[in-house]
Amino acid sequence: GEDVEQSLFLSVREGDSSVINCTYTDSSSTYLYWYKQEPGAGLQLLTYIFSNMDMKQDQRLTVLLNKKDKHLSLRIADTQTGDSAIYFCADSGGYSSASKIIFGSGTRLSIRP
Amino acid sequence: SQTIHQWPATLVQPVGSPLSLECTVEGTSNPNLYWYRQAAGRGLQLLFYSVGIGQISSEVPQNLSASRPQDRQFILSSKKLLLSDSGFYLCAGAGSGNTEAFFGQGTRLTVV
């Protein structure tokens, strides 16, 4: 079945760039998403990328998609303490109304001074 | 804009008691709806999804069930809760083509 994988932890110094990686298995994925979850809260959509794109930039966030390798990354420039959270990668299987949205296990990003 | 309302925010229930969590959607018609569970320190596990009224797909065998009595209403239920049902439950919805999935604020369930 479909699977989405991420590393569990990432620690970066404040002001550096953070790069969170994700791999997925569903070759029919249409949309790929990045969500942020702060402690005790629900999920906030950060950005998403359509599968025919290879890059999307939105202020400090840059998403890179390598469809051949089924690899997605999220780069956060100038990482701040407010960026501490769990980041989830997710993929949606296609145009079919029956498509599922599958999440990775989440990457906990911690910021050190 | 699309909004998911999910309640209650927190719930403490004894083992063996029933459960009903409700989720309603505003701002879109005929959404795909999802229930996820997040166990402590873990990722999101898809429990159920629905593409229309009365249409429920179950992803994992478990003690829970889901129903969709109306287009914008999705209910997660159990007849008898287990300790292992404790977790953070999130309802999500997505419009046609899943261009964006939007989430409720979640329900933290503790079974004691």
User: pLDDT tens digit string along A37-54?
Assistant: 988 778 888 998 988 889
Q: What pLDDT does residue A97 have?
A: 45
Q: What pLDDT does residue A96 have?
A: 53
> In whole angstroms, what is the distance from residue B101 CA to residue B92 CA?
6
Residue type, B59: E
Q: Are B102 and A45 in contact (CB < 8 Å)?
A: yes
Neighbours of A45 (CB within 10 A): 15
| Chain A touched by B40 (CB under 8 Å) | no
Neighbours of A47 (CB within 10 A): 17
Residue percentage of chain A with pLDDT more than 90 = 57
More confident residue, B96 or A10: A10
Q: Are B44 and A30 in contact (CB < 8 Å)?
A: no
> What value does the mean pLDDT take over residues B34-62?
86
Half-sphere exposure of A86 (CA within 13 A, CB side): 22
Residue type, B30: N
Residues contacting residue A35 through CB under 8 Å, at least 6 positions apart: A43, A44, A45, A46, A87, A88, A90, A103, B103
| Chain A touched by B105 (CB under 8 Å) | yes
Q: Residues 55 to 74 of A: which have CB under 8 A from any B CB?
A: none
Instruction: Characterize the bridge pairing of strands A85-92 and B19-26.
Output: unpaired
Q: Which pLDDT band holds residue A101 (cuts at 50, 70, 90)? A: confident
